[in-house]
Amino acid sequence: MAFSTLPVTSLKGVGPSLAEKLGKLGVSTTLDLLLHLPRRYQDRSRLVELGALTSEAECLVEGEIVAARITFGRQRSLLVTIQDETGFLNLRFFHFARNQQQSLQPGVRVRCFGQVRLGREGFEIVHPEYRIFSGAAPALEHALTPVYPTTKGLGQTRLRALVGQVLDQGLPDDDGLPYQSLQTLHQPPTDTTATDIAACQERLAIDELTAYYLVMRRRQALRAELGTRALPPAQQLGRRLLTNLGFQLTGAQRRVLKEVLEDLEKTEPMLRLLQGDVGSGKTVIAAFAAIRASEHQAQTALMAPTEILAEQHYLNFRDWLSPLGIEVVHLTGSQSAAARRESLEAIASGRALVAVGTHALFQQQVSFRTLALTIVDEQHRFGVHQRMALRAKGQLPHQLVMTATPIPRTLTMALYADMAVSVIDELPKGRQPIETAVLSDQRREDIFSRVAQLLEKGEQAYWVCPLIDDSEQLSAMSVETLSGLLNDGLPGAQIAMLHGRMPSAEKASVMARFKAGEIQLLLATTVVEVGVDVPNATLMVIENPERMGLSQLHQLRGRVGRGSVRSHCILLYGSPLSQAGKTRLQVMRDSQDGFYIAEKDLELRGPGDLLGTRQTGEQQFRIADLAVHAHLIPQVVTRGDQLLSNEPEVAARLLKIWAPEETTESAV
Ligand code: ADP
Ligand code: MG
C-alpha cells in the first residue's frame, strides 16, 4: 500500500487559516508535513537533579519552592528558588503577573523546563516553562520532544499533533519513503542518541540527493533526444583569431576548446559547464565558440552578471571578432535609448551575430533572428531561471556556462549531473605567483610608501573595502573614509572610486580610464570582484578580509597577477582577529589554488557561498545539507545509476516523493 499524499486540509482541525500558516512553512500536503523535520529535540523524558545541572543545558527539573522575592538589579525581576535533595536552582521572571507571583510561594512544588545559565546567584532558568503540582508528580514524556521550524501563530504542540495524525495512519515501509526513519525523527524514543538521529537524517538525505540526481539525469536524457542546429566547422575564422591573438593557447585551453567545438558539431543541444580558475582564460574559449556559430550566420548571446564585466567582454569580443567581419553589439540596462534601439534592431535583423550584455539580454523586447548559442559567464551569479529565459530566445540553443568558482568534483557529480563539465586546470605561461601578506590594519600607513613606489614605476593598484559609507552597525572600512586616508597618504596619485551606487556610465568611464592607465589606484568595493581584467595592475589591497568568504577573496585577488610582472596582495584585517579568522586568512596566504581554497571554504563555512543560487536560492534541499552530507554523493551517484538501469519503478517512486513538480518537458 502506498502512502497517498493529501492536502493538509484533509487533516482533522485544519481549516483555511491553519493551512495558510502551514503554507508559509512550505507545507501544503501530508507528505510535506512528514518531510518537515524537527530542527532539534528537547529531553522531557527524564528529570535532571538540581545538583547535576550544567550551564547551557536544556533540561527538565523539579523541586519545592524555598524562597520567592523581587530583586532590583539592572532590571526588576521575580526570583524564585527551588530545591531538591541535591541542590538549588533559581527561576527568574522579568515579566510576571500578580497572580503568577502569588502562586509561586514557598512550599509549592513545580516542574520546569528551560535552558540553564550561570547567573550572579548561581544556576538559573529565565522564564522557564513551568507547571505547579501537588500530590503525585506529572508523568514524564515517553519520547524526546521535537522542536520544529515554525511560523508566527503556529505552536509546537499544534505541529506535533498534526504530524502525529499523519504518522498514526500507519505507515508501510515499501513505497519509497523510509517511514522508520521518519517515525524516529518525529517521535524519537527516549533512548535515541544524536548518532541515531544523524543516521536517520542521512537515510533521508540519500533519498533526496538521489532523487535530485535522477532529475538531473532525466533532464540530460530529455535534452539528448531533442535536436537542434549542428554547427560543424564551416569557414576558417577561428584559425584567423588564433593568429591574431598574440598569445598561444595553453594546453588546457586547447583541450577544452576541442570539447566545446565537438559538442557544437552535434544536433544534441550542448549544455556544458566550463570551470577555470580566475585568469585561466575562459573568455577566449567563449569567443571561439561564438565564431563557430557566426560561421553559420547564427547568433550568439553572451551574458555577464555585471555591467562592468559586460562592457569588458564587449570590448574584447569586438577587438577579436570585428576584424573577422563579425558584428558585435552591446546591450545593458544603462545604455541611452538610441544606442539600445540600434542594438535591438541589429539583433532582431540578424545583422549582429554576437550580442554581449547583462540580464538586459533576456528581456522581452529582445528578439534574436537565429540564436544558436548562449554563453553565460560567472554562472553562479545567475539562477537557472535566468539562464532558461535566455535560452527561450532561441530554438534550443547550445549553452555554455562559465564559472571561476571551483566546485569540488564530488559536488559537480551530482549537482551538475545534467551538464557536461570541462575544466581549464592550467594558467597561461609566464604568470607570476601572487605574493600574499596578512597584516593588521593598524599597519595601513606603513604600506603607503610601498604603494607610492609601485605607482611611480607605472604599475597600478586596487584598494578594496567592504562598505561605501561608514556604518554605525559595522566596524568595517568604507570608501568614504578610505578615500580621505589615501588622498592624504598618497599625495599626487591619480585615485578614483568605483562602487555599486555610481551611475553605470560613470562606472564604465572609470573602468576605461583605469584600463588605459590614466587612473593609478582604484578605490573600490567588491564590484571589481568578478572577471575584471587589467594586466598592468599588480597590487591588490583588501580591507576587512575577515568579513569576506574565501572564494570571494580568491576572486578579488585574481584581479592581479594577470601580467608578467610580479604581483602582490595585502590582506589588511581589522584587529583583533578571531582564531577562525586567522585560519581562514592563512589559507589565502598559503594557497593560490582555487580548488583547494574552495574545498577549505566548504570545510570552514559550508557550501552556501560556493554554490551560490544552485544551493541557496533556487535549489534548497529539504533535508540534505551539503556541509554535512557531501560525502554521500559518490554513493548517491552509484545508487542513482543502478536504479535507472535496473529498478526504474523505484526511481519513479523517489521522483514522485521528492520532485513531484518535475514534469517531463520543464527545464531541459
Ligand atoms: P578568466 O578565466 O578569469 O575569465 P580571462 O579570460 O579574463 O580569464 O583571461 C585573463 C587574461 O589572460 C586576459 O587578459 C586574456 O586575454 C589572457 N589570456 C587568456 N589566455 C591566455 C594565454 N593562453 N596566454 C596568455 N594570456 C592569455
Ligand atoms: Mg572571466
Contact criterion met (CB below 8 Å) for 538 and 566: yes
Rounded to an integer, the average pLDDT of 308-316 is 90
Q: Is the CB of 404 under 6 A from ligand 1?
A: yes
Q: Is the CB of 250 under 6 A from ligand 1?
A: yes
Q: Is the CB of 562 under 6 A from ligand 1?
A: yes
DSSP character for 577?
P
What atom in ligand 1 is closest to the CA of residue 249?
23
CATH 3.30.70.1400 assigned to 434-591: no
Residues with CB under 5 A from ligand 2 (ion): 531
Q: Closest ligand to 559 CA?
A: 1
Q: Is the CB of 550 under 6 A from ligand 1?
A: no
What atom in ligand 1 is closest to the CA of residue 535?
14
- Angle at the Cα of 53 (from 47 to 54), degrees rounded to 5? 130
Q: Is the CB of 280 under 6 A from ligand 1?
A: yes
Highest CATH level, class, for 50-140 = mainly beta
pLDDT single digits (tens) 324-335: 999 999 998 888
In what helix (H) or strand (E) does residue 402 lie, and over which residues does it extend?
strand 398-403
Rounded to an integer, the average pLDDT of 2-27 is 89
C-alpha cell, 499: 562602487
Predicted confidence (pLDDT) at residue 341 exceeds the cutoff of 70? yes
Of the candidates 157, 202, 193, the one whose C-alpha atom is nearest the C-alpha of residue 43 is 193
CATH topology of domain 237-424: Rossmann fold (3.40.50)
Instruction: Output the CA 313–ligand 1 centroid distance in Å.
Output: 12
Q: What per-residue confidence (pLDDT) applies to 308? A: 81
Q: Is the CB of 196 under 6 A from ligand 1?
A: no
Q: How many CB atoms lie within 10 A of CB 122?
A: 12
Contact criterion met (CB below 8 Å) for 192 and 200: no
Q: Is the CB of 340 under 6 A from ligand 1?
A: no
Q: Is 76 exposed, middle or buried (0-12, 13-18, 19+ CB in 10 A)?
A: exposed
Q: Is the CB of 312 under 6 A from ligand 1?
A: no
Beta strands in 175-223 (DSSP E): none
- CA-closest residue to ligand 1 atom 18: 281
Q: How much of the chain, in percent, has pLDDT values that exceed 70?
A: 92
Return the best residue to mutate from 273, 356, 405, 533 for the ligand 1 pocket (most ligand atoms within 8 A of CB): 533
C-alpha cell, 141: 514524556
What atom in ligand 1 is closest to the CA of residue 278?
3
Instruction: Output the CA 378–ligand 2 centroid distance in Å.
Output: 7
Q: What per-residue confidence (pLDDT) applies to 365? A: 85
Beta strand pairing call for 129-133 and 109-119: antiparallel
Q: What per-residue confidence (pLDDT) applies to 174? A: 59
> Comparing 319 with 663, which gets the higher pLDDT?
319
Instruction: Output the CA 498–ligand 2 centroid distance in Å.
Output: 19
Contacts of 581 (CB under 8 A, 6+ apart): 546, 573
Q: What per-residue confidence (pLDDT) applies to 667? A: 40
Cα–Cα distance for residue pair 427/279, rounded to 1 Å:
7
Predicted confidence (pLDDT) at residue 405 exceeds the cutoff of 80? no
Contact criterion met (CB below 8 Å) for 402 and 621: no
Instruction: Output the CA 156–ligand 2 centroid distance in Å.
Output: 49
Instruction: Output the CA 595–ligand 1 centroid distance in Å.
Output: 18
pLDDT band at 391 (very low <50, low <70, confident <90, very high): low
Cα–Cα distance for residue pair 394/350, rounded to 1 Å:
12
Query: Any idea where the domains of the chain sit in the sequence?
Result: 3-42+147-192, 50-140, 237-424, 434-591
Q: Is the CB of 276 under 6 A from ligand 1?
A: yes
Q: Closest ligand to 425 CA?
A: 1
Rounded to an integer, the average pLDDT of 476-496 is 92
C-alpha cell, 340: 539600445
Which of 113-127, 481-495, 525-539 is the least confident region? 525-539
Q: Is the CB of 281 under 6 A from ligand 1?
A: yes
- CA-closest residue to ligand 1 atom 24: 428
Shared fold status for 237-424 and 434-591: yes
Q: Is the CB of 535 under 6 A from ligand 1?
A: yes
pLDDT single digits (tens) 84-141: 999 999 999 999 999 999 999 999 999 999 999 998 889 999 999 999 999 899 999 8
Q: What per-residue confidence (pLDDT) applies to 656? A: 87
Of the candidates 41, 88, 95, the one whose C-alpha atom is nearest the C-alpha of residue 62 is 88
Of the candidates 601, 608, 566, 603, the one whose C-alpha atom is nearest the C-alpha of residue 585 is 601
- Phi, psi at 334, each rounded to 5°: -105, 10
Q: Which of 124-133, 388-397, 592-601, 622-631: highest mean pLDDT?
A: 124-133
Rounded to an integer, the average pLDDT of 316-326 is 96
What atom in ligand 1 is closest to the CA of residue 424?
2
Cα–Cα distance for residue pair 522/630, rounded to 1 Å:
39
Q: Is the CB of 612 under 6 A from ligand 1?
A: no
CATH 1.10.150 assigned to 3-42+147-192: yes
Instruction: Output the CA 278–ligand 1 centroid distance in Å.
Output: 9
What atom in ligand 1 is closest to the CA of residue 280?
2
Instruction: Output the CA 278–ligand 2 centroid distance in Å.
Output: 7
Return the best residue to mutate from 253, 284, 532 for the ligand 1 pocket (most ligand atoms within 8 A of CB): 284
Instruction: Output the CA 394–ligand 1 centroid distance in Å.
Output: 29
C-alpha cell, 153: 501563530
- CA-closest residue to ligand 1 atom 20: 281
